[in-house]
């Protein structure tokens, strides 16, 4: 049984058509149920498809005359949404011609176009960018927001937690994901008033949700594997994500330098090769590629701009799984269970069970 086809912005990313088409072809070889709408320069896409006959028969091309530049401001990109490969891929989701869209292009433009075209789900004030981070545990960590919203209030964080838990149940197969808020300490008195208000709301609501809210966590514990979903505002989340990525590159480069420093080190590298290969695989961002804009009326997946074909294939697989598992329906059900109207009210003015304002 085929899944709804996936629109791919073939022009996005550092290398554009070649890597995006190669990634889609790899995804198709892994899962023959995938079908694609490749959006971009038709001539270049057709030329790239000649190298991938398995993808050619499972794809349709939608010509787009323009491309969103990597440094283009979202406001500028919005004005050209109808003619750019990114905007047309998103519009295909809006019109039902594709079930999901994948782009490796400008993140700000992708968020702005997606929000305008698809709108947020009822009960969600703002969409959030969620991604998977490797851990020492059995599953990856879901973290959000990673840059879509630099400033958030308590109700935004509560909504992010609900969406993140629904996402973790799908991608990690968890019944009750352990959810925590990112803070400067684990004590209940630590952090801003916004964080403490959000924690109070989540404690009150977690019994009605398929999640276990465990209070606060600190940035140095993200990789331990003792939490499944970490929630924060986009400003802090983006800084934390880049710090994690930088630390991973530092470790990899340090090992490479150490093993090349002497003959004894080179012999040690050969002996430890299986372990270092495992480490390299674990730290490779292509193996965790595919961030998701949660809270929209549609599935939009952001691939890293520098992703390899393997990374693009993994981003496509994320989009397909979210379609298969009906992510938006799961989020909607969770919002309904706690009252979408209640959590969209400002903190301190929420309706109680009798409909009275608190």
Residue 14: the pLDDT is 83
Query: pTM for this one?
Result: 0.82
**What per-residue string of b and e applies to 89-100 under the rule 16 or more CB within 10 Å gives b?**
bbbbbbeebbbb
Q: Average pLDDT in the 21-40 region?
A: 91
When mean pLDDT is compared across 168-172, 201-205, 269-273, the lowest value belongs to 269-273
Q: Average pLDDT in the 1-9 region?
A: 82
C-alpha dihedral, 222 to 226 to 229 to 233, nearest 10° = -40
CA–CA separation, 306 and 34 (whole Å): 23
CA–CA separation, 337 and 342 (whole Å): 11
User: CA 19 → CA 25, 75, 178, distances in Å?
Assistant: 10, 27, 36
User: CA 136 → CA 142, 276, 283, distances in Å?
Assistant: 14, 15, 11
pLDDT beyond 50 at 3: yes
- Please enumerate in sequence order all residues whose Cβ is within 8 A of that of 353, keeping only pairs 6 or more positions apart, or say none: none
User: Dihedrals φ, ψ of 257, to 5°?
Assistant: -65, -40
The model's confidence at residue 337, banded by pLDDT at 50, 70 and 90, is confident
pLDDT beyond 90 at 139: no
Bridge partners (DSSP) of residue 281 are: none
Residues of the chain with CATH 3.40.718.10: 1-119+296-323, 120-289+326-358
Residue 216: the pLDDT is 95
| Mean pLDDT of the chain, nearest integer | 84
Residue 96: the pLDDT is 93
CA–CA separation, 4 and 6 (whole Å): 7
Q: Average pLDDT in the 212-231 region?
A: 91
Residue 349: the pLDDT is 40
Q: Average pLDDT in the 158-168 region?
A: 93
- Three-state SS for 327? helix
Residue 283: the pLDDT is 57
Contact 313, 134 (CB under 8 A): no
Residue 194: the pLDDT is 93
CATH class of 120-289+326-358: alpha beta
Q: Kindly state the helix (H) or strand (E) to which residue 291 belongs, with its residue range.
A: strand 291-294
Contact 17, 44 (CB under 8 A): yes
CA–CA separation, 296 and 328 (whole Å): 8
Hey, what are 321's tokens? 């799984």
- Please enumerate in sequence order all residues whose Cβ is within 8 A of that of 131, keeping only pairs 6 or more positions apart, or say none: 142, 143, 144, 146, 241, 288, 290, 291, 292
- Give the closest residue to 11 by CA, choosing from 129, 146, 102: 102
pLDDT beyond 60 at 186: yes
Residue 15: the pLDDT is 84
Residue with tokens 């969406």: 163
Residue 348: the pLDDT is 45
**Burial class of residue 56 in the structure, from the number of CB atoms within 10 Å of its CB (0-12 exposed, 13-18 middle, 19+ buried):** middle
Contact 115, 123 (CB under 8 A): no
The model's confidence at residue 338, banded by pLDDT at 50, 70 and 90, is low
Contact 103, 77 (CB under 8 A): no
Distance of CA 51 to the CA centre of its chain: 29
More confident site: 226 or 276: 226
Please report the beta strands in 204-271, taking only residues with DSSP state E, as ranges in sequence order. Answer: 212-217, 229-231
CA–CA separation, 202 and 63 (whole Å): 46
The model's confidence at residue 272, banded by pLDDT at 50, 70 and 90, is low
Residue with tokens 């919002």: 335
Q: What is the fold, at CATH topology level, of the domain defined by 1-119+296-323?
A: Isopropylmalate Dehydrogenase (3.40.718)
pLDDT beyond 90 at 284: no
User: Dihedrals φ, ψ of 256, to 5°?
Assistant: -60, -45
């Amino acid at each position: 049984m085929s899944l709804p086809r996936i629109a791919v912005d073939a022009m996005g990313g550092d290398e554009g058509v070649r890597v995006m088409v190669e990634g889609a072809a790899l995804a198709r070889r892994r899962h023959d149920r995938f079908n694609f709408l490749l959006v971009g320069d038709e001539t270049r896409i057709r030329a790239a498809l000649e190298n991938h006959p398995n993808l050619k028969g499972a794809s349709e091309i939608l010509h787009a005359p323009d491309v969103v530049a990597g440094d283009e401001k979202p406001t500028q990109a919005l004005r050209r949404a109808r003619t750019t490969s990114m905007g047309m891929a998103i519009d295909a989701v809006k019109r039902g011609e594709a079930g999901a869209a994948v782009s490796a292009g400008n993140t700000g433009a992708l968020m702005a176009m997606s929000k305008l075209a698809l709108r947020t789900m009822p009960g969600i004030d703002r969409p959030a960018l969620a991604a998977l981070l490797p851990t020492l545990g059995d599953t990856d960590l879901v973290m959000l927001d990673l840059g879509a919203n630099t400033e958030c209030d308590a109700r935004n964080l509560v909504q992010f937690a609900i969406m993140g838990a629904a996402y973790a149940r799908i991608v990690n197969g968890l019944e009750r994901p352990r959810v925590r808020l990112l803070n400067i300490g684990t004590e209940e008195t630590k952090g801003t008033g916004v964080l403490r208000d959000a924690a109070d709301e989540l404690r009150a609501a977690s019994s009605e949700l398929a999640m276990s809210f465990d209070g606060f966590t600190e940035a140095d514990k993200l990789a331990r594997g003792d939490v499944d979903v970490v929630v924060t505002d986009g400003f802090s989340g983006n800084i934390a994500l880049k710090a994690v990525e930088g630390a991973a590159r530092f470790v990899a480069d340090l090992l490479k330098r150490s093993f090349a420093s002497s003959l004894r080190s080179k012999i040690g590298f050969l002996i430890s090769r299986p372990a270092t290969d495992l480490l390299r695989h674990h730290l490779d961002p292509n193996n965790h590629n595919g961030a998701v804009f949660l809270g929209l009326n549609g599935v939009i997946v952001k691939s890293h701009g520098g992703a390899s074909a393997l990374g693009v294939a993994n981003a496509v697989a994320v989009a397909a799984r979210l379609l298969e598992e009906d992510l938006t329906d799961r989020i909607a059900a969770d919002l309904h269970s706690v009252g979408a109207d209640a959590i969209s009210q400002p903190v301190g003015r929420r309706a109680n069970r009798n409909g009275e304002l608190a």
